[in-house]
Amino acid sequence: MHENNGRLGFTGLILPVALFTIWYIATLDGGVPAYLLPSPLALALAVIDFTAGSERLGPYSGTLLVHTIASVQRVFTGFGLAAAIGLPLGFLTGRLALAKSSLDPTVHLIRIVPGIGWLPLAMVWFGVGEKTTVFLISLAAFFPIYVNAAQGAASVSPLLIRAGRMLGANNLTIFTTVIIPAAMPSTVAGLRLGLGLSWAYLVLGELTGVTHGLGAVMMDARMLGNVEMILVAMIFIGLFGRISDLILVGSFRKLNLLKRGYEE
């Protein structure tokens, strides 16, 4: 993989550079009007203004921190709830036939309805805003976390379990010291999917009307005809999504839980 990075780096640059050039030329002399697509320079200024407030461009100057804190809190709560429920249920389903037969069919039945389909009901139940957003995030993130934790726990090598047994582990410690760590590579894949979905459903929830949050910025900016702020919010959501993914993977790697078997 790594030897190819140099060449990939070059060929990988062609498309973005081309797109950027087209974008630059198209917005150069008002070819494409600014209310549809801002120029690269205008966008860059908006990003700087949103972050530092130095340009005093309007209501969003220097408000990045406020909106980020609001959004990150929602993702954190929603994703945390999904993980807190999804991981234990997934591990149990993966190992115990009783848990699998009693839980799995219902979970998969609910999973058929796409997360977006829950929006109207969530608004009826929880009203507009905070609770609805957290509900949608945890609902959407739950399924990949649950399914991958179950899959990981179910496919732990029986030999590893035998090894733990003959070294004195009991029913409980076999779970905590062998099954859960061995299930980690698949479980972390599920957590990453869940975290990605959390950011997607954050935007959906915040579009319904909250005062603070990156999704709220997008919806407000649309009404104000402020396209560059829509794009700025999109950029930061992408950025934070990527950062949170790196933190997630990094912390599991630090615990050495992503080491693969020597047989592979």
Partner 1 sequence: MKRTDLSANNISKCFLQPGEDRLLYVLEDMDFEIKEGEFVTILGPSGCGKSTFLNILAGFETANQGQTFCCGEPIKGPSPERAVVFQSPVLFPWMDVKSNIMYGLKQVGKKKGEAQKITAEYISAVGLEGFENYYPCQLSGGMQQRVALARSLILNPKVLLMDEPFAALDAQTRYSMQQLLLRLWESNRQTIVFITHDVEEALLLSDRICIMSKRPGRIIEEISVPFEWPRPISLTGSGDFSQLKSHILSILLD
What does the binding site for partner 1 look like in residue numbers (CB under 8 A)?
A: 157, 159-160, 162-170, 173, 177-178, 181-182, 184, 256-257, 259-263
Q: What's the burial of 122, exposed, middle or buried (CB within 10 Å: 0-12/13-18/19+)?
A: buried
CB of 67 to partner 1, least distance (A): 39
Provide, rounded to whole angstroms, the least separation between the CB of residue 181 and partner 1.
Answer: 5
Distance in Å, CB of 93 to partner 1, minimum: 22
- Whole-number minimum distance, CB 174 to partner 1, in Å? 9
Tell me how far, at minimum, the Cβ of 219 lies from partner 1, in Å.
Answer: 44
Given the complex with partner 1, which of 43 and 149 has the nearer CB atom? Answer: 149
Q: At residue 231, what is the residue type?
A: L
Nearer to partner 1, 70 or 156 (CB): 156
Both tokens of residue 146?
A: 């649950």
CB 169 within 8 A of CB 161: no
What distance in Å separates the CA atoms of residue 255 and residue 232, rounded to the nearest whole number? 35
Strand positions, DSSP E, 95-246: none
Closest CA to 88 of 153, 134, 177, 171: 153
**Looking at beta carbons only, is 3 or 263 nearer to partner 1?**
263
Tokens found for residue 172: 């409980």
Contacts for 117 with CB less than 8 Å, ≥ 6 apart: none
CB of 145 to partner 1, least distance (A): 20
CB nearer partner 1, residue 33 or residue 250: 250
Cα gap 223→221, rounded to integer Å: 5
Closer by beta carbon to partner 1, 15 or else 166: 166
Give the nearer residue to partner 1 in terms of CB position, either 37 or 257.
Answer: 257
SS3 label, residue 153: helix
